[in-house]
Amino acid sequence: MRVGKNEIQKTSSQAVSCLVKIQRRWGRITTGSGTAPTLTDPRKPIELKTGKLNSQLSGLEAIIIHRGVGILLKLLMSEPVDFNLCVVIPASGTGERMCLPSPKQFCTVLDKPLITYTLHTFNSIPCVEQIIVTVSSQFIPLMRELIAENGFSRVTVVEGATTRHRSIYNGIKAIAKVCAQPDVVLIQDGVRVFADADFVKDIAVAAHKHGAAGVVRPLVSTVIAADAENFLEESLDRTKYRASEMPQAFRYEVIKSAYEKITDYDFDYGTECLHLALKYTGTMAYLLEGPNNLWKVTHKKDLYAVTGMLKEHFLTVLLDGEVHHSLEETVTKSIQKKGMRVLPHSGPKTQLHSVTGLVCFHSDPSIQNIQCKTLELISSIRTVRNSTSVPISSIAVVHIFNSKTNISRPYGEFVNTVQASAKMNKDVYTFCILYEPNGDYEDRLAEMTASLLWERNPVFSGQVFYIND
């Protein structure tokens, strides 16, 4: 639904969740009277307007999505991004500290190279005009393939260099070839996969105002200095210092001028972009306190941490089929306990684009519907997905059967049907659970279902699990 500056048209008749996507410029949403919107009767339609709070707003696009839980309005900050913003992502590192065969940015996490999630984050932020990613020459074909597969229309790949700062400079020089001169350039490491859209906006606005802006976090360990003989010489008061994180943002002319003046020593050994802006242009960076998810994947253990965080962030499960309320509630609680979101089968299917897992409760005694049901739901999900949807392409499907009422054919034939369904699509992990409704089967069934959806292990795709007291 596309609307102009003065109003967001009427929503629908049920309880709704309003997700507002603003292209190019963000602003505060109010009612027609200029006040903040409030929740009244969720069954009635509402009318929202931008009012007169910000005359610079234009091109406002509202996406209204049914959820059946009332009205959720995301109030965006009043200060607009009324300038051009480009992002440079250096990803040419070798990942020596990871001690793996390939650089860490290309390590597989949830079936995709890690860099995919970083690109997805920025490709999904409306105010970002263009994204430049720099990689070593041998990885350019792979990166172009990833860009095409994921529909990253705003991402351009250029050749990196032997050091981080030389790679960043290559990205900055490439900006002029792919888009108009930006007002602000944001720099983000290729292995920092999380960046909230509102925070990206905040740091970009700060850089536009002050010339440069950086992100800081509290130190978690005390910093000490040793003398020439390796004895303690100094211990810094960590309350006075901060850890510098990414992303960092700069006015285009500031960061471009800094890299044009930089010495070979800083090109080879420098690590802090904010310091380069201060050293070579005299621009003092404004520092913002950042969220706790901006950390960088550095060591092998970090791959396990980022995998869990990505699962918590993206995994959404749709329940489908008829089942008695007690079992559905138990399964739902187990899935949520793992950190996944659940869409009930009774709710509207307007969030299919976010679904990464399915739980299919089968009441039809014919096992032939496994393949048909799987294909139907997978097709529906992929039809509504796009480059700003979840970056996890694989889908885990758990079929649940009551062994006493559903299985009317030989067990071997049932297993063959499940295995055939699993082979139909390599990106769909198919699991099947047979249960006998006695004892504490509900808890055991729920825990197994949640574990299969969370682990998403392709080794077990096509397997049949049996729960008996």
What span, in angstroms and rounded, lies between the C-alpha atoms of 244 and 278? 15
Question: Under a CB-based contact definition with an 8 Å cutoff, are residues 63 and 23 in contact?
Answer: no
Per-residue model confidence (pLDDT) at position 425 = 77
Please state, in angstroms and as integers, the Cα–Cα distance from residue 463 to each residue in 229, 360, 363, 420, 423, following that order: 61, 15, 20, 11, 11
Give the torsion through C-alpha atoms of 217, 222, 223, 225, to 10 deg: 170
Residue with token string 């299917």: 349
What CATH architecture is 85-300?
Alpha-Beta Complex (3.90)
Which residue, 445, 425, 270, is CA-closest to 361? 445
Helical axes 300-314 vs 114-123, angle rounded to 10°: 40
Beta strands 212-218 and 184-187, pairing class: unpaired
Whole-model pTM: value is 0.79
**Residue 78: helix, strand or coil by DSSP?**
coil
**Residue 465: helix, strand or coil by DSSP?**
strand
What span, in angstroms and rounded, lies between the C-alpha atoms of 355 and 244? 35
Per-residue model confidence (pLDDT) at position 366 = 62
- Residue 175 is classified by DSSP as H
What span, in angstroms and rounded, lies between the C-alpha atoms of 9 and 142? 44
φ, ψ of residue 135 in degrees (nearest 5): -135, 160
Per-residue model confidence (pLDDT) at position 80 = 65
Per-residue model confidence (pLDDT) at position 333 = 95
Which residue, 151, 271, 174, 148, is CA-closest to 214? 271
What span, in angstroms and rounded, lies between the C-alpha atoms of 79 and 57? 10
- CB < 8 Å & 24+ apart, contacts of 345-348: 345/318, 345/319, 345/320, 345/321, 347/67, 347/68, 348/14, 348/66, 348/67, 348/68
Per-residue model confidence (pLDDT) at position 379 = 82
For residue 247, is the peptide bond before it cis, meaning its omega torsion is within 30 degrees of 0? yes
What span, in angstroms and rounded, lies between the C-alpha atoms of 393 and 314? 11
Q: What share of the chain is helix, strand, coil (3-state, %, to 5)?
A: 35, 25, 40
Residue type, 331: V
199: tokens are: 């925070």
Per-residue model confidence (pLDDT) at position 99 = 67
What span, in angstroms and rounded, lies between the C-alpha atoms of 226 and 2? 62
Output the CA torsion sign for 386, 387, 389, 390.
positive
- Residue 340 is classified by DSSP as -
Question: Domain limits of the chain?
Answer: 1-79, 85-300, 315-467
φ, ψ of residue 220 in degrees (nearest 5): -100, -15
- Residue 459, judged by CB atoms within 10 A of its CB (0-12, 13-18, 19+), counts as exposed
Per-residue model confidence (pLDDT) at position 364 = 65
Query: Please, how many CA atoms are within 13 Å of residue 200, restricted to the half-sphere of its CB?
Result: 23
Per-residue model confidence (pLDDT) at position 208 = 96
Q: What fold does the segment set 315-467 form as a domain?
A: Rossmann fold (3.40.50)
**Residue 6: helix, strand or coil by DSSP?**
coil
416: tokens are: 């063959």
Output the CA torsion sign for 178, 183, 189, 191.
negative
Per-residue model confidence (pLDDT) at position 61 = 31
**Residues 6 or more apart whose Cβ sits within 8 Å of residue 347:** 67, 68
> Residue 250 forms beta bridges with which residues?
185, 212
φ, ψ of residue 275 in degrees (nearest 5): -70, -35
- Residue 284 is classified by DSSP as P
Q: How many residues are listed for the chain in this entry?
A: 469
Question: Under a CB-based contact definition with an 8 Å cutoff, are residues 53 and 34 in contact?
Answer: yes
Please state, in angstroms and as integers, the Cα–Cα distance from residue 141 to each residue in 36, 135, 136, following that order: 49, 10, 10
Per-residue model confidence (pLDDT) at position 331 = 95
Question: Under a CB-based contact definition with an 8 Å cutoff, are residues 276 and 212 in contact?
Answer: no
Per-residue model confidence (pLDDT) at position 55 = 34
For 215-278, give the DSSP string.
EEEE-SS--EEE-TTS-EEEE--GGG-EEEEEEEEEEHHHHHHHHHH--HHHHHH---HHHHHH
Per residue of the chain (469 residues), what is the pLDDT tens digit?
Answer: 222 233 233 333 333 333 333 333 334 344 344 444 443 333 333 344 443 333 333 333 333 333 333 333 333 333 567 889 999 999 998 766 666 778 899 999 998 999 999 999 999 998 999 999 999 999 999 999 999 999 999 999 999 999 999 999 999 999 988 888 889 999 999 999 999 899 999 999 999 999 999 999 999 889 999 999 999 999 999 888 999 999 999 999 999 999 999 999 999 988 899 999 999 999 999 999 999 888 899 888 999 999 999 999 999 999 988 788 889 999 999 999 999 999 876 655 667 888 999 998 887 656 666 677 777 778 888 787 776 778 888 899 999 988 776 555 667 777 887 787 778 777 889 999 988 888 788 999 999 999 999 999 999 999 999 988 6
